[in-house]
């Protein structure tokens, strides 16, 4: 049976709702569970497609949410009850295809409130809602596996109450709502918009793995209750032709999935661009999110009573006293005050001494006159102390550069050490913000070439960038005679270096990321699709090799990666 589920999933399931419906069916328990699974798999295409009907056809988005903090605002229990009753009616009538359709629709209303973003409303959530759902969709198989491994002992049952269905949906909403703020905090849209699964960190992956497992278990219980309550018996089913049909449809489904993924990527990228430009998502907000936002504003927020803070925190009343209060006339009050004042002699201050002003000369750019306050002059500072100060300043500058750009210290490693009194006109080459790497630069300035490697290259006669580019990779590798430096490694060095000599503004790590992602020359970079380029670069950045390269640095964001493409186009057009 697991093979059948694999085939059906590959043939028909593209989105999270498709897979959640199948997960619930797979976990169905009961004496006739296997026979019922065969019925549903015979109509698998109908079942899976129905799981998205509420989104694609009904568009009754209020019925997809349940907000525990707002008095359980939303309509999920009502819609679920309607389709639960429909399912029972179709089962009793033995309308199997219609029963399967009703079950698919029912699954949507049961599992939607188990998504944290369907249990509350905020602008912060709106900004990342669609991107986060896309990340979950693309990471679904891994999340499901994690959920089964970590939470596989979870077994739910229906509450012993006539209104058990509403209670189950409410319990799911309560559980997921507790993760609402955590999911917002632990979803990284900057990563997710480029490589969807990487938008989820270890915390958000774990919480979504648990909720996906919980949602599948919940739907399994609801489906089992409907089958039991209907009193229907599963018919004898042959699945052979249906399985063959599903296998035939697999290639077409893969193509459709790719098309949908491209469309989703463009939509999420547009939302991300608006978020970065304006700080919010409004124009690109999807229909379902916009509908929920507007309904929530009119049905919940507008009806909340405005509490007067002054009434909540009134001034404290004056304490009552049994003492008799006597009001005196003005003259009487003055006399009384004088009579009751203590007889205390107040000492008069001595003459206040004003400190004599001391004239301190201010340093000027011209020749300075002698000053009364002795200050150390530059020529009086020892050479050792001067060098120490210069080294400290250089280290502080590099640390600030790395922190501000997200680059590693590796990028700044080729800044040459300068004497303490170096001329102000000398500028290190590796800042390279607007310039390319000169061909006559020292080979140590090439990407991936550290001081030790530069010494090895120097020993075989390669001292300049131009000599590295002109050399034969196999010959260079053979002459270096180092176990970890082969022809492929030298090819990568040359590709990175060539990019740095052609495309302005590329740092060492930028060229390394591009070559690692497969963009080995300026023409390939300039001709790339911006979204695909960003996805490829971040996919490499989060790989083991990419993480070793970046060390503790943050991968570049989408705008940065796209700027490399623009720079390549401009360089080639010049």
Which tokens is 503 given? 């495309």
Tell me the sheet residues that pair with 273.
none
CA distance 166 to 171: 9
pLDDT in tens, the chain (574 residues): 667 788 888 888 999 999 999 999 999 999 899 999 999 999 999 999 999 999 999 999 999 999 999 999 999 999 999 999 999 999 999 999 999 999 999 999 999 999 999 999 999 999 999 999 999 999 999 999 999 999 999 999 999 999 999 999 999 999 999 999 999 999 999 899 888 999 999 999 999 999 999 999 999 999 999 999 999 999 998 886 766 677 676 676 665 666 677 778 788 888 888 887 788 888 888 888 899 999 999 999 888 877 777 776 787 876 554 544 444 454 444 444 444 444 444 444 444 444 444 444 444 433 334 433 333 333 333 444 444 444 444 444 434 433 433 443 334 333 344 443 333 333 344 444 458 999 999 999 999 999 999 999 999 999 999 999 999 999 999 999 998 899 999 999 999 999 999 999 999 999 999 999 999 999 999 999 988 898 788 878 878 888 888 886 777 887 888 899 999 999 999 8
| Crossing angle of helices 16-26 and 33-42, rounded to 10° | 150
Three-state SS annotation for 193-253: CCCHHHHECHHHHHHHHHHHHHHHHHHHHHHHHHHHHHCCCCCCCCCHHHHHHHHHHHHHH
Give the chain's domains with CATH numbers.
2-302 (1.10.575.10), 434-573 (no CATH)
- 3-state SS class at 121: coil
Task: Give this prediction's pTM.
Answer: 0.60
CA distance 292 to 297: 8
Q: Which of 456, 531, 525 is nearest to 496 (CA)?
A: 525
**Backbone φ, ψ for residue 335 (5° rounding):** -65, -40
């Amino acid at each position: 049976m697991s093979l059948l589920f694999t085939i059906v999933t590959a043939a028909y399931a593209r989105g999270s709702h498709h897979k959640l419906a199948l997960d619930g069916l797979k976990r169905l328990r009961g004496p006739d569970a296997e026979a019922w699974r065969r019925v549903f798999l015979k109509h698998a295409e109908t079942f899976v497609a129905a799981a998205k009907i509420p989104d694609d056809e009904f568009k009754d988005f209020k019925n997809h949410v349940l907000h525990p903090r707002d008095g359980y605002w939303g309509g999920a229990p009502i819609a679920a009850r309607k389709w639960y009753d429909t399912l029972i009616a179709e089962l009793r009538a033995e309308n199997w295809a219609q029963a399967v359709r009703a079950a698919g629709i029912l699954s949507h209303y049961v599992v939607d409130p188990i998504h944290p973003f369907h249990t509350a409303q905020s602008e912060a959530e709106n900004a990342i809602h669609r991107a986060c759902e896309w990340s979950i969709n693309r990471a679904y198989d891994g999340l499901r596996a994690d959920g089964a491994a970590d939470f596989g002992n979870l077994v739910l049952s229906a509450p012993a109450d006539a209104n058990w269905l509403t209670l189950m949906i409410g319990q799911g909403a309560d559980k997921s709502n507790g993760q609402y703020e955590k999911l917002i905090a632990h979803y990284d849209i900057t990563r997710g918009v480029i490589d969807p699964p990487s938008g989820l960190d270890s915390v958000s992956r774990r919480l979504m793995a648990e909720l996906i497992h919980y949602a599948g278990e919940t739907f399994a219980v609801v489906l089992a209750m409907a089958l039991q309550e209907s009193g229907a018996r599963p018919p004898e089913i042959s699945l052979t032709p249906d399985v063959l049909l599903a296998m035939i449809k697999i290639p077409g489904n893969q193509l459709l999935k790719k098309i949908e993924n491209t469309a989703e990527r463009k939509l999420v990228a547009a939302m991300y661009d608006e978020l970065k430009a304006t700080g919010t998502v409004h124009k690109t907000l999807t229909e379902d999110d916009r509908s929920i936002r507007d309904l929530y504003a009119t049905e919940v927020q507008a009806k909340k009573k405005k509490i007067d803070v002054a009434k909540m925190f009134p001034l404290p009343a004056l304490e009552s006293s049994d003492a008799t209060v006597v009001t005196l006339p003005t003259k009487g009050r003055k006399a009384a005050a004088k009579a009751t004042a203590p007889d205390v002699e107040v000492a008069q201050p001595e003459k206040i001494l004003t400190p004599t002003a001391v004239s301190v000369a201010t340093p000027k750019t011209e020749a300075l006159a002698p000053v009364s306050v002795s200050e150390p002059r530059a020529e009086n500072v020892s050479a050792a102390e001067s060098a120490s100060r210069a080294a400290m300043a250089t280290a502080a500058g590099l640390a600030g550069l790395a922190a501000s750009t997200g680059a590693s210290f590796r990028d700044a490693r080729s800044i040459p050490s300068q004497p303490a009194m170096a001329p102000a006109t000398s500028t290190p080459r590796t800042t390279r913000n607007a310039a390319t790497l000169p061909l006559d630069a020292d080979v140590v300035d090439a990407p991936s070439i550290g001081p030790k490697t530069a010494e090895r290259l120097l020993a075989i006669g390669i001292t300049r960038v131009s000599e590295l580019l002109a050399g034969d990779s196999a010959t260079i590798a053979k002459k270096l005679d180092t176990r970890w430096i082969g022809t492929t490694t030298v090819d990568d060095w040359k590709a990175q270096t060539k990019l740095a000599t052609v495309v302005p503004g590329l740092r060492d790590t930028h060229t390394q990321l591009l070559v690692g992602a497969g963009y080995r020359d300026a023409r390939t970079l300039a001709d790339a699709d911006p979204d695909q380029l960003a996805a490829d670069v971040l996919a490499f950045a989060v790989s083991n090799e990419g993480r070793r390269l970046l060390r503790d640095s943050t991968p570049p964001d989408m705008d940065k990666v796209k700027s490399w493409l623009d720079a390549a186009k401009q360089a080639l057009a010049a």
